[in-house]
């Protein structure tokens, strides 16, 4: 069995919003600047953090999740990365022990050392209790120490360090600093490309981290985090290797449609598809293509521009009228309906491919891991959206909860419409590699 060794760290926290992404980016940027090859992964389903992690590391960022992507997929990606990298960084999801499976489960399965990031802005001695609990709540969890974030002063940092039962676990403190704050909105972080000083923010974070014990670890010190990554046993392919050969898929990719897993693009290419990218915001027509993919994103933030782009609307309508396949997920589906109503109550006429209306809500409408059963296989994935839709269309099928989970209400609808049932749309975000054959059916004519 092939085994590859590489230092690896999982950046975790007691909860969301503690600063995991900032620290993961700072660590990646710091070592990349020093000439090391850094590979970063994101634990769980997330489209936005990887934009920043990619910028910081200079390499594509893939997801790791013991259920959604699968243990074998995780093992293969980590093994492949270890062959190329000097350091592997995995950013956790939510709190260390949150979710089924959790970031802790991933760390324990692969022997990843865990660094706990704690927002210490409103605490002193309790910092030590949190650090101790994260380290000792589960036996045999490799622990690399704790980093205090959003610290008020050097004096505050000393109080935090003094509260630790084991001072050797202290990896330093990052002071509260707007220079490396990563901006957020309703679905998560603002993308790096939307602000003009993204790299400057990452460099500022890396500079701050460089003054901590964590940031002062050199190539020799990193060997303390070394992990042996075994190549998984190969499983039989699901027969999708050439199913899309000769098919050109136009993929929407801009500020309105940006929720794209890099691994999903790789998966489509592996099935033989050729991908071409376009912007529904800026382009007046689709590129020459056999199928269309409208991924999730923020159509609600760009509804006025999308509605005014009559050329793109006509091009998409012509594509559908010709019976060419369309797969639209979440934000992509929202743009296909007749009307989009913003959270302020403003209505925008959208592309009119599907009958009905989507309406933005103040609160999350759905969240969680789900799976979609299709004749070609079962696609794993998740749902995460703030809008609801009203349509006369009847769902062709619905997603089901992930094993061990329950749904509040019904699963996400899969709508199938258009000539020869060419349009397939859902709020569901699919992880294509969970069933490449089923993913390929989304870009084929007829019922999936």
Q: What does the DSSP assignment read for 387-407?
A: EEEE-SPPPSEE-EEPTT---
Q: Is the pLDDT of residue 184 over 80?
A: no
End-to-end CA distance of the chain: 38
- Cβ density class 231-242: b for 16+ within 10 Å, e for less: bbeeeeebebee
Task: Give the chain's domains with CATH numbers.
Answer: 3-230 (3.40.50.300), 248-441 (3.40.50.880)
Residues 305, 340: Cα–Cα separation, whole Å: 12
Which residue is listed with tokens 């020093």?
34
pLDDT tens column, 417-440: 999 899 999 999 999 999 999 999
User: What is the rounded distance in angstroms from the CA atom of residue 22 to the CA atom of residue 12?
Assistant: 12
- C-beta separation of 442 from 270 below 8 A: no
pLDDT tens for each residue of 314-342: 999 999 999 999 999 999 999 999 999 99
CA distance 166 to 140: 17
Q: Report d(CA 313, CA 319) in Å as an integer.
A: 10
pLDDT at res. 243: 87
pLDDT of residue 57: 97
Question: DSSP 3-state assignment of 144?
Answer: strand
| Three-state DSSP class for residue 222 | helix
What count of residues does the chain have?
Answer: 448
pLDDT of res. 185: 56
Q: In 3D, which of 285, 14, 323, 336 has the Cα closest to residue 146?
A: 14
Alpha-carbon span 296 to 330, nearest angstrom = 5
Rounded to the nearest 10 degrees, the angle between the axes of helix 49-57 and helix 20-33 is 20
pLDDT confidence tier of residue 186, bands split at 50, 70 and 90: low
In this prediction, residue 363 carries a pLDDT of 87
- What pLDDT is attached to residue 179? 80
Q: Strand, coil or helix: what is 162? A: helix
For range 405-428, the mean pLDDT: 91
Query: If DSSP codes are grouped into helix, strand and coil, which group holds residue 344?
Result: coil
DSSP state of 393: P
Confidence class of residue 169 from pLDDT cuts 50, 70 and 90? very high
Q: What pLDDT is stored for residue 235 in this prediction?
A: 57
Which range (12-21, 190-199, 258-267, 359-368) has the least confidence?
Answer: 190-199
pLDDT-based confidence at residue 125 (cuts at 50, 70, 90): very high
Q: Please identify which of the residues 6, 43, 289, 330 carries the catalytic annotation.
A: 330
Distance of CA 363 to the CA centre of its chain: 20
Can 25 be counted among the known catalytic residues?
no
Residue 53 near residue 28 (C-beta atoms within 8 A): yes
Chain position carrying tokens 């059916």 = 441
pLDDT confidence of residue 13: 97
- Residue 361 makes CB contacts below 8 A (sequence gap 6+) with 343, 386, 387, 388
Mean pLDDT of the chain: 93
């Amino acid at each position: 069995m092939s085994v590859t060794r590489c230092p690896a760290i999982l950046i975790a926290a007691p909860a969301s919003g503690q600063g995991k992404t900032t620290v993961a980016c700072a660590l990646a940027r710091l070592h990349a600047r020093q000439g090391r090859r850094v590979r970063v992964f994101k634990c769980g389903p997330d489209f936005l953090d990887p934009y920043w992690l990619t910028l910081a590391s200079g390499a594509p960022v893939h997801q790791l999740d013991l259920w959604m992507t699968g243990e074998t997929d995780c093992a293969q990606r980590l093994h492949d990365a270890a062959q190329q990298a000097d350091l592997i960084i995995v950013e956790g999801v939510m709190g260390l022990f949150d979710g089924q499976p959790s970031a802790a489960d991933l760390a324990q399965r692969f022997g990843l050392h865990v660094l706990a990031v704690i927002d210490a802005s409103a605490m002193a001695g309790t910092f030590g209790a949190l650090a101790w609990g994260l380290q000792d709540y589960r036996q045999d969890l490799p622990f690399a120490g704790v980093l205090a974030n959003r610290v008020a002063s050097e004096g505050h940092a000393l109080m935090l360090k003094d509260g630790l039962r084991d001072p050797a676990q202290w990896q330093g403190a990052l002071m509260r600093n707007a220079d490396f704050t990563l901006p957020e909105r309703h679905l998560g972080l603002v993308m790096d490309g939307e602000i003009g000083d993204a790299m400057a923010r990452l460099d500022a974070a890396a500079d701050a981290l460089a003054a901590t014990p964590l940031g002062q670890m050199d190539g020799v010190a990193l060997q303390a985090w070394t992990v042996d990554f075994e190549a998984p046993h190969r499983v039989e392919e699901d027969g999708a290797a050439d199913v899309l050969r000769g098919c050109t898929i136009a993929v929407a990719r801009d500020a309105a449609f940006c929720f794209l897993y890099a691994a999903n693009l790789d998966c489509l290419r592996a099935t033989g598809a050729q991908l071409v990218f376009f912007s529904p915001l800026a382009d007046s027509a689709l590129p020459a293509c056999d199928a269309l993919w409208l991924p999730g994103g923020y159509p609600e933030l760009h509804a006025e521009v999308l509605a005014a782009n009559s050329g793109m609307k006509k091009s998409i309508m012509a594509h559908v009228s010709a019976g060419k396949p369309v797969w639209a997920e979440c934000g992509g589906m929202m743009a296909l309906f007749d009307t989009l109503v913003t959270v302020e109550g403003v209505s925008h006429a959208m592309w009119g491919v599907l009958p009905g209306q989507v309406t933005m809500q103040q609160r999350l409408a759905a969240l969680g891991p789900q799976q979609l059963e299709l004749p070609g296989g079962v696609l794993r994935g998740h749902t995460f959206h703030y809008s609801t839709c009203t349509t006369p269309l009847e769902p062709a099928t619905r997603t089901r909860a992930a094993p061990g989970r329950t749904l509040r209400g019904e699963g996400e609808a899969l709508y199938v419409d258009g000539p020869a049932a060419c349009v397939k749309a859902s709020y569901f975000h699919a992880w294509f590699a969970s069933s490449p054959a089923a993913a390929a059916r989304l870009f084929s004519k007829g019922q999936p």
